[in-house]
Structure 1
Amino acid sequence: MPAVLEYSPQSSLPRQTEARSSPIPWDGRKSRRSHRHEGASRLAQLHEDAIMAAVLQAEEEAHLLDRSIRSAMRENEARRMRDQTSSPAPPAPRFTSLAPSSLRASDRERNPPKKPKSPAEALRDHSYLFIGERTCWRCKNIIHRKPTSKNDALSSLHAACSFCGATQCRACSKPAPCMKFQCRGGLQCPLARGCCAELRAISLFEILCDFDKTYLDAAANLSGTDTWPVPQAEREDFVELVTSRADRSVSSKLNHVLLDALHGVNAYLSPESPTTEVHPAFPPMLCSSLVFEAVHGFLREESHTNWVVNGDIYSEIMKLVKLLFNRASLRDFVTEPLPAIRHSSGIQAWMWHRGHSVWEAHTRGHESLHNAVFSGGSQQAIARLDATFQRADLKSITASLRRDFQEIQVRSWADPALP
């Protein structure tokens, strides 16, 4: 407050007094509004400061991450260049008094040779193709797989999305030209004609799974054994009963599923063209299945009557041997001994790891298909069929058998490794 000079009558000297200011009017409502405005402005400023701090922190973290990634890439590139340009130092000489044979033995102990995979183990390397999940091409939903039931082998060539209902190829996930509620699969499905090599391998896998399940169940029911899987001896006795036709109901059921399996394999192998290339899963699949065991059982049967009754099965067997012989990559199936499966729970249980899945085999327990064809009475049985069959359709079966047998014989003569 400013000071003023005041003259007093008692003294001639001026004295300093404090000037009194006039009172200033105060409006309480305006003061409260200003305080609220200042508080809101301060809160807004604090919020903006917090956002700016978070942005700066995120930018700093991204910058540090980018620097670390670039540093790691430079280190990897420098290490790769050093490995390419620098030559390894020569190994120091080792002095030992061991004999050469002992040296080889020690090397084998340090680096033991890898045990070759069995056909069933090699088949499991392709497990994703047969049992893996797929992604819907439309909604990206996961399509789960589940084992197919009996007599339903070709019903799952297309995969249907449970969320949007779109259908697609089970192998390559390409959109299928059929709808979920209009196509139930099977041979009527447009994909049954073969969308890709992988789908053809899947269809053959399902056919062989159906055969293995039917074959094992029928053998177990006939033998009455509690041992599972059914031993090899019990299965061979079952095949012998089927070929002898002692029980017509059992024989007709197995003959039907065997004929379907052979027809599926032959359709997979023919015709030979780039579009029908053999998938890498085909050889281990065929060796792991029990279908060759049944084929050997039919070829061991020399009864003329059995060839007459099951002429269509023998025709498919001869066609199979011919097609395998024609493929250079599959010729060993004909010329080399095949595995004799001691225990098998079927390739479907083996692939899905269901229950007590097992697969054991003698590596070269079965004779080759070539020896099975020519050591039996195949040629004599085919010759007898000409005199037995009088109908035109049966004559065509005989002509096909003779033609395939002669082609196999010619190829056998041209192969120096065969007797």
Structure 2
Amino acid sequence: MSFSINTNVGALAALQSLDSTQQSLNNTQNVIASGLLVGSASDNPAVYSISQTMQANIAGLTAVQDNLSFGNSVLGVAAAAGSQISSQLATLQNTVTQAQQTGISTSTMNTQINNILKNIDNFANNATFNGVNLLAATGTTGVTTDTMVIQDTINAGGQLTVGNQLGGSTAMTQALGLTNLSSTSGGLQYSFNSSYAPAAGDYLQLSNGTNNWVFEFQTTGSTPSAAPSGYTLGANAGGGTNYLTNVIMGTSTSPMAAVGALINSLQQSGFAASLSNNGNLTIAGNNVSSTGSAWEKASTAYSSGSSTNEAGVTQTALSGGSAAITIVQNAIGTMNGIAAKIGATQQEVTGMMNFSSSLSTSLTTGSGALIDANMASESAQLNSLQTKQQLAIRTLSIANAQPQVLLNLFQ
């Protein structure tokens, strides 16, 4: 064994042990301070990469949950307004039915009807949450999230919106087919069978004896159809006006979709028009009558008569009052369908909220299992390293004292 004051092997070994212990102690203190076993890529590159991906997914789910909560609130407001509208429709049916009794003031009952219609539109127009309204005017962006559009079947799918394609403050009553409803509304009813096949140029003509209306079908992108032969637009010999409206339908539109487009055009022209659950079209308002009204094939010359020659279409006259009751019953059916679809979408959103919450919890738990520190284990490790640090310092002190012993050899 050699003794050297230039190379103190014991001190070097003690210093190396102390450095190693100090590094481990610093790491343990960082883990305890942060609570993370893997706090950076240098700790464990593979685990850190996985945890970062999971954290990004958790952040994305948080945004989705926020948007779903917003959507659920919009749906809740729409559902509450829909419930009030359904209640008003029940009152409306009672009012229209009472108005048919002998001795009841028609003027008074019509005032009540108009007030109910105003209430319906007010409920719909005020069913707005943060600028989104599912029941009123067109132009709403619907309910969306960052990762999806909540789909529904109201108005043949797309973003969740009930307001049809109608705008303005009376969009809801138009969508329900209640425009210009009165207690004495007579009207027309059209039924369809499987042979009905709408084509460009087919038209529905309506008349109240003074004014005449023609609603002519036209396919998307085609040149607007001219008025039927024998039908002159503008003032007529009866002191009224002849009107023409082009009803736009797709090139492969189904018969009932074409009827739906017709209903929109009728409503925008001031008629009460609605489709019952069994597919019957009821038209009232503007004092329309069966005289002079008909459904005609393309290229059929206009006639003031009421002979319908469109295959698969049957016209029936509704007496005063009965048309009003039918229109209200159709509106109740329509509103029930809207309420059911809103409710179904609420269930869908609630399910998505529950799923995203569960998924976020699972990801958070999984991420924690990868990177969170076991504090009990780290506490024991800290005590152990502190003891080793003290021993290493003591050993280094002893090793540093050894060269001093060599002085005794030179005394």
| TM class, shorter-length | under 0.3
Greater strand percent: which structure? 2
Find the structure with the greater CA-based Rg: 1
Greater helix percent: which structure? 1
Q: TM-score, normalised by structure 1?
A: 0.22
